[in-house]
Amino acid sequence: MPKKAKPTGKGKEEGSVPCKQLKIEATGGPSSALNFESPGDLFESLISPIKTETFFREFWEKQPLLLQRDDPAVATYYQSLFRLSDLKSLCSRGMYYGRDVNVCRCVNGKKKVLNKDGKVHFLQLRKDFDQKRATIQFHQPQRFKDELWRIQEKLECYFGSLVGSNVYITPAGSQGLPPHYDDVEVFILQLEGEKHWRLYHPTVPLAREYRVESEGRIGTPALEFTLKPGDFLYFPRGTIHQADTPPGLAHSTHVTISTYQNNSWGDFLLDTISGLVFDTAKEDLEFRAGIPRQLLLQVDATAVATRRLSGFLRTLADRLEGTKELLSADMKKDFVMNRLPPYYMGDQAELSTPGGRLPRLDSTVRLQFKDHTIFTVGPDQDQSDETQEKMVYIYHSLKNRRETHMMGNDETESHGLRFPLSHMDALKQIWGHSAISVKDLKLTTDEEKENLVLSLWTECLIQVV
């Protein structure tokens, strides 16, 4: 039976409760560590033996989950994801301080950054690690480590949100970061050595920003434990935490996999409300009427302005109740533009090169890479504001570059297609069926049907079956 871990301090109603702790017996060989059959299978194997329904009901955004596994097979698999010894070959590929690697140490409750300038040289990195007892933080290792790419690509499909990672390598008797909380949901896999963790009740549950907290403010730990290779830890954003490598032991390596940054209902509301206002203003004269003179010069909100805005919000709420289409201004597009491409061990260009038979009117077609494709409705950007018609936009990640994933690249471009709004029903048919006959698509002419499937085939989004 699962056992609840004993808290080391008094609980607080406003914070998370002590996490659940499980001891797990060894089962199977290395290949049984994770199941990649589907995104759902991958996630369930990651949190095994906890069931997905249990996890989201009892732990997600609520409390930490600690799984301490006495399983050599899982430990061996975790150790293969990233090792201290991998740094030598990675440095030879041209890593840079700040962009790819941070070197730091926690000194008197503060983070001390020990980065040099320019390119990272392995001998200098190892010297700082051994002599200065510094932690090495490697940013987004999925760019170079295939198995992390494989894991994170599946998790992005599962969550529908970007999934990043960082590796932390800390020498014995040292701590890299001061107590802090993050703005992401955190999954930690212990890869090498042991790491001593202390978790504290949140001061800001489900925080929207990163923040360092002082020892005097956070009080005593709610939970204290040591992770060993093969162990797993989850905690919600806002959970205050700090970790150190025990003295007298080997170094510790763990990977932090994170998701759900800026992915709240508040973010979604901000994303969808602009399109809703834009559409409503086209049809409602009141939305187009000018605001009172000198309203922008007022120090305090006027009763008139507050009352009008409240009325507008009620109008928007009524309109929203009657719509089936939520217009995402940026979130959908941002996700698909910046996520990982599908995991593929061959030439990545092959994914976006059409193959197989050309689709024709008498063909049956099937959607492929569904988890890597989104479609949304938006104005035709080639027309002026006065004449803008809505278009269906399809975006995909087949041509995304793994090497820039989660690196804040301003040059990221979108890949996809656009169609008239009249094509929406036909697209929903393709998305909603395992396979469908081209001639059965809900379009007016045979030419439209053939052109639609040919466009999708050219982007490698469908195949003929």
What integer is the mean pLDDT of 401-414?
87
Beta bridge partners of 462: 367
Does the N-terminal peptide bond of residue 141 adopt cis geometry, omega within 30 degrees of 0? no
Between 376 and 161, the more confident residue is: 161
Domains delineated in the chain? 22-259 (2.60.120.650), 265-322 (1.10.10.1500), 329-402+414-464 (3.90.930.40)
Instruction: Judge whether residue 16 has pLDDT over 80.
Output: no
Which amino acid, 70?
A: D
> What CA–CA distance (Å, rounded) separates 336 from 327?
15
Q: At what angle do helices 265-283 and 331-338 cross, to 10 degrees?
A: 130
**What is the predicted pLDDT for the residue at 275?**
85
Between 98 and 282, the more confident residue is: 98
pLDDT band at residue 410, thresholds of 50, 70 and 90? Answer: confident
Q: Between the CA of residue 402 and those of 21, 283, 398, 399, what are the distances in Å?
A: 35, 44, 10, 9
Between 23-27, 36-40, 456-460, the lowest mean confidence (pLDDT) is in 23-27
What integer is the mean pLDDT of 274-303?
90
Between 62-66, 278-282, 424-428, the lowest mean confidence (pLDDT) is in 278-282
Between 25-34, 289-298, 308-317, the lowest mean confidence (pLDDT) is in 25-34
Q: Containing H/E element for 72?
A: helix 72-81
Query: In sequence order, which residues have a C-beta less than 8 Å from that of residue 285 and are 6 or more positions away?
Result: none
Is 201 within 8 Å of 222 (Cβ atoms)? yes
Beta strand extents in 390-430 (DSSP E only): 390-396, 416-420
- Torsion region of 199: left, alpha or beta (phi above 0 gives left; psi -120 to 50 gives alpha): beta
- Give the tens place of pLDDT for each residue, 92-114: 999 999 999 999 999 999 999 99
Instruction: Judge whether residue 190 has pLDDT over 90.
Output: yes
Instruction: Report pTM.
Output: 0.91
Signed CA dihedral, 236, 76, 134, 255: sign only? negative
**What is the predicted pLDDT for the residue at 348?**
80
pLDDT band at residue 18, thresholds of 50, 70 and 90? Answer: low
What integer is the mean pLDDT of 158-180?
97
Helices (H), 219-292: 265-283, 285-288
Percent of the chain with pLDDT over 70: 91
Between 88 and 301, the more confident residue is: 88
Instruction: Judge whether residue 21 has pLDDT over 80.
Output: no
Sheet holding 185-192, edge to edge: 3-4, 20-25, 65-70, 232-235, 185-192, 252-259, 163-170, 135-139, 101-107, 110-113
Between 224 and 2, the more confident residue is: 224
**What is the predicted pLDDT for the residue at 326?**
62
pLDDT band at residue 5, thresholds of 50, 70 and 90? Answer: very low
Which amino acid, 7?
A: P
Q: How far apart are the first and last CA of the chain?
A: 48
Is 305 within 8 Å of 246 (Cβ atoms)? no
Average pLDDT, the chain: 90
Percent of the chain with pLDDT over 90: 77
In 3D space, the residue among 117, 187, 116 whose CA is nearest the CA of residue 148 turns out to be 187
Q: At what angle do helices 72-81 and 146-159 cross, to 10 degrees?
A: 100
Bridge-based pairing state of the strands 65-70 and 20-25? parallel
In 3D space, the residue among 336, 337, 338, 355 whose CA is nearest the CA of residue 347 turns out to be 355
> What CA–CA distance (Å, rounded) separates 204 from 12?
13
